[in-house]
Structure 1
Amino acid sequence: MKKFAILCLSVCVLWSCKDDKTAETTTTSTEASEQLQTMLSDYSEEGYALNPMTATRAGDNRFDTEFPNVLSDDYKAKKKAYYTKYKQLISEIDTENLSNTEKLSLEVLEWDCDINLEAMTFKKDLMPVDQMWSMNLDFNQFASATNAQPFETVEDYNEWLTRVDNYLVWLDNAIDNMKQGMEEGYVLPQPLIKKTIPQFETLAKGPVEKHLYFSPVAKLSGDFSDEEKTQIKTAYTAMVEDKVIPAHQKMVDFLQNEYMAKGRTSSGINATPLGDAYYAHQIKLYTTTDMTADEIHKLGLSEVARIRSEMEKVKQEVGFEGDLNAFFDHVRTKKELMPFTERSQVIAFYDSIHDAMKPQIDRLFDKQPVTAFEVRRTEPFREKSAAANYNPGSLDGTRPGIFFTPIPDVETYNIFDKESLFLHEAIPGHHYQISLQQESNELPKFRKTLWYSSYGEGWALYAESMGKELGLFKDPYQYFGMLSQEIHRAIRLVVDTGLHSKGWTREQAIQYSLENEAMEESSITSEIERYMANPGQALSYKIGQLKLIELRERASEQLGDKFDIREYHNQVLETGCIPLQLLENKIDGWIGSYVD
């Protein structure tokens, strides 16, 4: 009996100790998790305040009057302090008891802080304006009253007036920065300046009633009183006449009369003081890898050769006699591939692609977005120099995702590659990936709007490769279009590294592209100039696609009969945009959960 009592006491003490340790572990785990959630929430909140345009795009309208002067010393100091602060806070988190999802968020946050702090060590802001990527182009889309900026109330209209005032401060400061850049050797290549001038010229003239910045007035509905309509119209007329037109004319005069003469005749970024170090940073930023320019260049040459061999098969299938380059010309000019006479027919064509895919979507995708989707023509003010693009819907789903396609000349709108374009920009490309990221109940807020090009553009190019699985590419010309889009991204690996690390000229890059793809010369020229404006961005597509294909093949091979393509897509899409190495770690863990 005494022995039993002692045994019971021992057991009680043992379980008591175990319960204490469990409670201690749970407390520690809960504290670490709460600390992390608070930090992630603060990071998002402070990030929106630092980047108010991002908040507006997400449907958060608290900052709709703001457009920070990102070129100012004050803003740069705030930005550096922001990332430095969270780098320190990351180091204070006890990661031992965090969940895998929480650990991944922490790793993503650390990567985001590091890459942004690294970017701030370069003087790229001495070239703040270009024809493709600069902040004025994003802002102008808001001015159209068809984008994220709301125009539903009198307050909305007044807030936009304030935001325009703030934007014009940035625009004026951009000229000051470019003047400093002229003195220090940070200037755009002349062909890019030439493309940029017309974008400002369009906004430097009236009539007021047809000006882009007057567009919100046309949205005034019956919900506004006559007095309110008159006040808004008067205020917007003054804004366009007295502020917007003069500010853009000032930029036109500067670009034409001062900047053009100082423009570079070189094409690559390594010809500026930014040098090879900046291009290495851009490669890291856009591929989220440690690949070198030489490695990427060689990979591009290999991929171009592989895809050309696939193109040869299509050429033979359609019975074309002549070499592949002649077939490129044939595809560029084939009248049957330019069937439209009205722009509305282009939109209807994309709708028909979507209808053809719908019966197959469920076989490949378990999770599908609820955010609505539309196809629209690109706004005329940027149509001549813009590529097709996707604008995400709002976080709450009230604003749809929009696929914008430029149609500057409808009668020459060639459709040979448009099925793959729809897969990329729309479904299941950007619309699926971005909408599911924004709709996620698992991701912290900051990750819902995070963008890493190698993941996002890699997914979109991977989506193109699923065309046959989705019931498309039945016409060999459309399949050739997919190969054309893929070789286009492979060519980017060659020409981007050629331009920025191997001394290639703009003309060399154009010629290489003409010899290896079917795009018309004007489009190729715009593409090459795009790469000149933003080194490294063009690398992200193929690097990301190849990684997603590699991970799919790895999972299929190791899981065998257990492999489910829908679950693989769930695993990829539920993470949102993350660096590729972090994605690979996650997929390997998922595979291991089955194998083990």
Structure 2
Amino acid sequence: MKHLLLVVLSFVAPAVHAQAAKKAAAPAGAPSVPLATLFERYHDRTNRLFPLRATVQGDNRFNDKLPNDQTRVYRDTLRAFYTHYSNALRRVNRAALTPNDQLSYDILRYELDQELAAFRFNNWMMPFNQFYGLPTSLPQLGSGKGAQPFNTVKDYDNWLARMRSFPAWTDSAIANFQHGERSGIVLPKALVTKMIAQLKAVASADPTTSLFFAPVANFPKTFTPADKARLTPLYQSAIRRDVLNQYRKLTDFLEVEYLPKARTTSGINALPQGAARYAYAVQVGTTTARTPAQIYETGLAEVARIRAEMDTAKNRTGFKGDLKGYFNYVNTDPKFRPFKTEAEVINAFRAIQGRVEVTIPTLFSRGPKALFEVRATEAYRAASASAQYNRGAPDGSRPGIFYVPILDATKYNTVANPAMETLFLHEALPGHHFQASMQQENTALPKFRRFGGYSACSEGWGLYCESLGKSLGLYTDPNQYMGHLGAEMHRALRLVTDVGLHTGKLTREQAIQYMMDNEVISEQGATAEVERYMAIPGQALSYKTGQLKLTELRDRYRQQLGAKFDLRAFHDELLSVGQMPLAVLETHMDAWAARIK
């Protein structure tokens, strides 16, 4: 598959913008030495405990480690780790810190409190699902197309070591599922069915044709015949014994034992501590104190607002019927499905990239150094996946990757997946690729901030960037603009469906129908979305919550500052400080505006 053209963005901006950007990127005073040491040790210990996360960050010290995070010993170690640093942070006099250190303090304080609160719930009894977990991410790593490097002989030996650790993880995960069976903490049947299909797709492969054999089929040219002769049989054996056999074991367990005991309900309100579980998930997803009821009402209001705007925008497309008729028109008219091959879909995104690159300096005075590319989502997970962005390595050795699920190129809809222009703005430029890359490239931040993430901040930024389309020269096709409104509607619907599913207001089937009634989406697409919300409660709330907050802050400062307000400076400041909880971000940005005023 051809990769998207790699691009390094460097913008020439007026001096005032360059100076503002430089000021924004610099730390506000030197960090205190004890606190800097605490931050560094916290990040280092985190990467030791989560070596896969370290690999994604380009920290390759632990590339041979795959700890069994399904054991009680591991959970106890994790709790002790968070408690230790929580106590250490409480001994720091926040008032004596520089503004930049105070911001770091507040972010870490929030992170530790959030992690410790999770131990109130026995989520370890549901080790993975169709959307999130080691069985889903392992093929990405082992294929050589993900974060795991396969450049040296040591890299290959490292992955062998990780594969050898997978059987112990598998056995512990099954034991945890069984604990859940006895405790009434089980996944919905609808999700387990999808998990079985995913696992079978991996397990059914021959070792030499599976994704895991790709590094052997593509040995680096520098490898000697002796290296290849040693590694090839080791990989064949490990793939069969330590990986494929384990996927079969998981498949058999889920299909024979677990599926009959899985629940018929959709939301986590049906589990023990159901209301508290969801309240915590909402807090994690939104990084706010808003209640599920408040979010549900916001969702209803946003759905009504966007629907009214869609009614107006629809008329510009020339379509004469009502909105539901327009949705059907977009879903069925062949002109919205112009592709024959996967490569044509990728090339269409290249064309969008070319248009955005020309106009993006009007809204941003700086861009990331990191490269990025678009790839089709792997076949084994495409049916249950949404488009997503995986950040690149901070040293540039691995680009950021925008994954697009393309089940059948001939059915790929230019307006309803969502609209391609909207999707590009969100996942690539200036969305996730800008934010994630510039965050980890900013060495003025402590590492736990450079590589940290908050869904409300990241997905809120992505959705906010979708609203910049007209300013960036996109949405000139009224159907693409309708697609943009449809994407915003999609995120507003999430506020209703996620809360509805997990508070008992909606069943799975009702949530699917509600989405189909209010946006351009197929039944298959709506089903995958709703089952995603069932798998990771609260996460889908982050998009609209974050976008609404960023829009609110922009409009607030525009009114407060008048002629002093500079949209590029606002964007640069948001990107310079990295992701953080929305409450912390608002306090920081208010102080930024006050300094300008």
> TM class by shorter-chain length?
over 0.9
Q: Deviation digits for residues 565-585 of structure 1, max 9, x if unmatched?
A: 110001111111100011111
2:96 aligns to what SS in structure 1?
Answer: coil
Q: Displacement, 1:322?
A: 2.1
Structure 2: how far apart are the matches of 1:564 and 1:51? 40
Q: Displacement, 1:233?
A: 0.8
Q: Name the counterpart of 1:464.
A: 466
Between 280-289 and 202-211, report the one with greater CA deviation.
Answer: 202-211
Q: Are 2:442 and 1:440 aligned? A: yes
Structure 2: how far apart are the matches of 1:420 and 1:263? 37
Q: Name the counterpart of 1:510.
A: 512
CA contact (8 A) 1:123 1:274 kept: no
Q: Deviation digits for residues 14-61 of structure 1, max 9, x if unmatched?
A: xxxxxxxxxxxxxxx999811110000001100100111111001111
Matches within 5 A, 1:52-201: 52-201=51-200
Give the gaps of 5 or more residues in structure 1: 1-28
Q: Name the counterpart of 1:486.
A: 488
Amino acid at match of 1:574: S
Between 337-346 and 298-307, report the one with greater CA deviation.
Answer: 337-346
CA contact (8 A) 2:54 2:62 kept: yes
Matches within 5 A, 1:189-338: 189-338=188-337
Structure 2: how far apart are the matches of 1:341 and 1:61? 40
2:203 aligns to what SS in structure 1?
Answer: coil
Structure 1: how far apart are the matches of 2:524 and 2:381? 16
Matches within 5 A, 1:337-376: 337-376=336-375
Q: Deviation digits for residues 184-220 of structure 1, max 9, x if unmatched?
A: 1111111101100011112222322111211211220
Give the gaps of 5 or more residues in structure 2: 1-27
CA contact (8 A) 2:313 2:482 kept: yes
CA contact (8 A) 1:32 1:95 kept: no
Q: Name the counterpart of 1:20.
A: none
Structure 1: how far apart are the matches of 2:406 and 2:347? 13
Structure 2: how far apart are the matches of 1:84 and 1:287? 23
Q: Displacement, 1:112?
A: 0.5
2:151 aligns to what SS in structure 1?
Answer: coil
Structure 2: how far apart are the matches of 1:363 and 1:580? 26
CA contact (8 A) 1:131 1:193 kept: yes
Structure 2: how far apart are the matches of 1:251 and 1:49? 27
CA contact (8 A) 2:163 2:239 kept: no
CA contact (8 A) 2:443 2:450 kept: no
Quickly say closer, same or farther: Cα 1:188–1:222, change in 2 above 3 A: same
Amino acid at match of 1:181: G
Q: Kindly indicate whether structure 1 or structure 2 has the higher relative contact order, using CA contacts under 8 Å at least 6 residues apart.
A: 2
Q: Deviation digits for residues 400-441 of structure 1, max 9, x if unmatched?
A: 111111111000100111110010111100000000000002
1:186 aligns to what SS in structure 2?
Answer: coil
Structure 2: how far apart are the matches of 1:77 and 1:125? 12
Structure 2: how far apart are the matches of 1:278 and 1:323? 40
Structure 1: how far apart are the matches of 2:383 and 2:184? 29
Larger Rg: 1
Q: Deviation digits for residues 354-387 of structure 1, max 9, x if unmatched?
A: 1011121111001210001111111222122211
Q: Name the counterpart of 1:418.
A: 420
1:559 aligns to what SS in structure 2?
Answer: helix
Amino acid at match of 1:106: Y
Quickly say closer, same or farther: Cα 1:31–1:303, change in 2 above 3 A: closer
Q: Name the counterpart of 1:5.
A: none
CA contact (8 A) 2:29 2:100 kept: no
CA contact (8 A) 1:83 1:113 kept: yes
Structure 2: how far apart are the matches of 1:341 and 1:32? 56
CA contact (8 A) 1:268 1:501 kept: yes
Q: Name the counterpart of 1:550.
A: 552
Q: Are 2:573 and 1:574 aligned? A: no
Structure 1: how far apart are the matches of 2:348 and 2:125? 43
Quickly say closer, same or farther: Cα 1:211–1:561, change in 2 above 3 A: same
Q: Deviation digits for residues 271-309 of structure 1, max 9, x if unmatched?
A: 011410010001111100000010000000000000001
Q: Name the counterpart of 1:6.
A: none
Q: Name the counterpart of 2:526.
A: 524
Between 419-428 and 240-249, report the one with greater CA deviation.
Answer: 240-249
Structure 2: how far apart are the matches of 1:74 and 1:134? 19
1:242 aligns to what SS in structure 2?
Answer: helix
Structure 2: how far apart are the matches of 1:528 and 1:222? 45
Overall identity of the aligned pairs, in %: 44
Between 386-395 and 30-39, report the one with greater CA deviation.
Answer: 30-39
Amino acid at match of 2:359: Q
CA contact (8 A) 1:389 1:404 kept: yes
1:472 aligns to what SS in structure 2?
Answer: coil
Structure 2: how far apart are the matches of 1:247 and 1:467? 46
Q: Displacement, 1:241?
A: 2.0
TM-score, normalised with respect to structure 2: 0.93
Amino acid at match of 2:189: Q
CA contact (8 A) 1:48 1:54 kept: yes
Q: Name the counterpart of 1:8.
A: none
Q: Deviation digits for residues 79-127 of structure 1, max 9, x if unmatched?
A: 1111111111111112233211110000000100000000122101101
Structure 2: how far apart are the matches of 1:575 and 1:170? 37
CA contact (8 A) 2:166 2:243 kept: no
Amino acid at match of 1:163: R
Between 378-387 and 184-193, report the one with greater CA deviation.
Answer: 378-387
Q: Deviation digits for residues 426-476 of structure 1, max 9, x if unmatched?
A: 110000000000000221011111110000000000000000010000000
Q: Deviation digits for residues 168-195 of structure 1, max 9, x if unmatched?
A: 3212211111111111111111110110
Q: Could you say what the CA RMSD is over the residues aligned between the two structures, in angstroms?
A: 1.3
Amino acid at match of 1:247: Q
CA contact (8 A) 1:95 1:103 kept: yes
1:208 aligns to what SS in structure 2?
Answer: coil
CA contact (8 A) 1:35 1:93 kept: no
Amino acid at match of 1:521: E
Amino acid at match of 1:171: T
Between 95-104 and 553-562, report the one with greater CA deviation.
Answer: 95-104
Q: Name the counterpart of 1:429.
A: 431
Q: Name the counterpart of 2:539.
A: 537
2:425 aligns to what SS in structure 1?
Answer: helix
CA contact (8 A) 2:313 2:478 kept: yes
Q: Name the counterpart of 1:399.
A: 398
Structure 1: how far apart are the matches of 2:504 and 2:264? 16
CA contact (8 A) 2:31 2:100 kept: no
CA contact (8 A) 2:391 2:399 kept: yes
Amino acid at match of 2:482: F
CA contact (8 A) 1:32 1:93 kept: no
Between 522-531 and 319-328, report the one with greater CA deviation.
Answer: 319-328
Structure 1: how far apart are the matches of 2:273 and 2:339? 45
Q: Deviation digits for residues 536-561 of structure 1, max 9, x if unmatched?
A: 00000000000000000011111111
Structure 2: how far apart are the matches of 1:109 and 1:464? 29
CA contact (8 A) 1:461 1:486 kept: yes
Between 450-459 and 137-146, report the one with greater CA deviation.
Answer: 137-146
CA contact (8 A) 2:203 2:244 kept: yes
Q: Name the counterpart of 1:11.
A: none
Structure 2: how far apart are the matches of 1:117 and 1:67? 23
Amino acid at match of 2:276: A
CA contact (8 A) 1:64 1:149 kept: yes
Q: Which runs of 4+ in 1 moved over 6 A?
A: 29-32
Amino acid at match of 1:491: L
